[in-house]
Chain A
Amino acid sequence: MDCSHVFEFKVNRLIVVFTLFLAFFSATPAAFAQVDSLQTTESTHAETKAEKKFDIGKFALHHIADSHSWHVIGHTYIDLPIILYTKAGIVSFSSADFTTVEEGKVVRDDEAKVVVERNGQRFVKMHEKIYYASDVANDHGQFVTLDEKHHATNARPLDLSITKNVCTLFISIIILLVVFLSVAKGYRTNKGKSPKGIQSWMEPIILFVRDDIAIPNLGHKYERFMPYLLTVFFFIWFNNMLGLVPFLPGGANLTGNIAVTMILALATFCLTVFNGNKYYWKHIFMPDVPWWMYIVMVPVELFGIFTKPIALMIRLFANITAGHILVLSLICLVFVFNSLYIAPVSIAFAVFIGAIELLVAFIQAFIFTILSALFIGMAIEEHH
Chain B
Amino acid sequence: MELLLPEFGLVIFQSIAFLLLMFLLAKFAWKPILGAIKEREQSIDEALNKAELAKQEMARLTAQNEDLMKEARAERDLLLKEAKTLKDNIVNEAKTQAHTEGAKLIEKAKIEIENQKKAALAELKNQVSTLSLEIAERILRDQLQDKTKQEDLVANLLKDVELN
Contacts and interface: CB of A to CB of B under 8 A. Distances in A.
A and B interact: yes
A267 B18 contact: yes
Majority SS at the chain B contact face: helix
Contacts of B12: 160
A157 to B, nearest CB: 10
Given A159-B9, A163-B10, A191-B36, A227 B25 contact: yes
A260 B14 contact: yes
Nearest to B34: A226
Interface stretch (A172-180, A282-290, A327-335): A172-180
Q: Which interface class (under 10, 10 to 19, 20 to 34, 35 or more) fits A?
A: 35 or more
A61 B33 contact: no
Contacts of A61: 3
Interface in A196-246: 203, 206-207, 210, 223, 226-228, 230-231, 235
Given A176-B21, A228-B22, A267-B18, A188 B7 contact: no
Given A183-B29, A187-B32, A258-B5, A227 B22 contact: yes
A253 to B, nearest CB: 9
A160 B9 contact: yes
B155 interface: no
Given A61-B3, A258-B3, A262-B6, A231 B26 contact: yes
Given A160-B12, A206-B33, A263-B18, A230 B25 contact: yes
B9 A187 contact: no
A160 B13 CA distance: 8
A210 B38 CA distance: 11
Nearest to A262: B6
Contact of A226 (B3, B11, B30, B39): B30
Contacts of A227: 22, 25-26, 30-31
Nearest to A33: B3
Interface in A125-150: 127
A163 B39 CA distance: 43
Contact of B32 (A177, A184, A192, A230): A184
Contacts of B17: 169-170, 173
A16 B43 CA distance: 41
Contacts of B40: 192
B160 interface: no
A191 B38 CA distance: 12
Contacts of B2: 65, 127
A260 B10 contact: yes
21 contacts: A127-B2, A160-B9, A163-B9, A163-B10, A166-B10, A166-B13, A173-B20, A173-B21, A176-B25, A183-B33, A184-B32, A188-B36, A206-B33, A207-B37, A210-B34, A227-B25, A231-B21, A235-B21, A259-B10, A262-B11, A263-B18
Given A188-B32, A257-B7, A262-B11, 12 more contacts: A160-B12, A161-B9, A173-B21, A177-B25, A184-B33, A210-B37, A226-B30, A231-B25, A231-B30, A235-B18, A235-B21, A266-B15
Interface of B: 2-15, 17-18, 20-22, 24-26, 28-34, 36-37, 39-40, 43
Interface of A: 61, 64-66, 127, 158-161, 163, 165-166, 169-170, 173, 176-177, 180-181, 183-184, 187-188, 191-192, 203, 206-207, 210, 223, 226-228, 230-231, 235, 257-260, 262-264, 266-267, 321
